[in-house]
């Protein structure tokens, strides 16, 4: 069953830490803004960035729709983005995503 929160393992018994799935979408969107030759595809819903975040059995799955500059090497740009998103989420939240899927939905001319 999908949930909206991930529970982090606490290093002590002082309390629990829960992260909302929107945190991971925001981190991914910020990483995309920093990467050259790639742009987040617009969502048709207001106040949504298009990134699909799913949490299932305390595992994180991301699906990121992007547009790539037509002169860029799509494989290299997407691999670099995937690695940067993984590293950023791991560094900022101390949680390792299970799957990060980059979907190329168009090109920027």
The model's pLDDT over 38-69, given as tens digits with 9 standing for 90+, comes to 999 876 666 567 899 998 888 899 999 999 99
Q: What is the pTM of this model?
A: 0.86
34: DSSP letter: H
Q: CATH number of 20-108: 3.40.50.300, 3.30.70.1350, 2.60.40.1180, 1.10.3720.10?
A: 3.30.70.1350
The model's pLDDT over 61-99, given as tens digits with 9 standing for 90+, comes to 999 999 999 999 999 999 999 999 999 999 998 889 999
Closest CA to 43 of 107, 93, 105, 109: 105
Q: Give the integer Cα–Cα distance in Å for 25 and 15.
A: 25
């Amino acid at each position: 069953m999908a949930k909206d929160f991930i529970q982090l393992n606490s290093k002590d018994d002082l309390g629990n830490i829960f992260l909302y799935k929107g945190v991971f979408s925001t981190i991914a969107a910020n990483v995309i803004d920093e990467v050259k030759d790639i742009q987040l595809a617009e969502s048709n819903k207001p106040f949504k960035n298009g990134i699909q975040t799913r949490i299932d059995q305390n595992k994180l799955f991301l699906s990121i729709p992007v547009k790539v500059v037509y002169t860029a090497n799509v494989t290299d740009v997407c691999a670099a983005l995937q690695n940067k998103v993984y590293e950023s989420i791991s560094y900022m939240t101390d949680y390792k995503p299970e799957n990060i899927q980059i979907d190329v939905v168009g090109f920027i001319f």
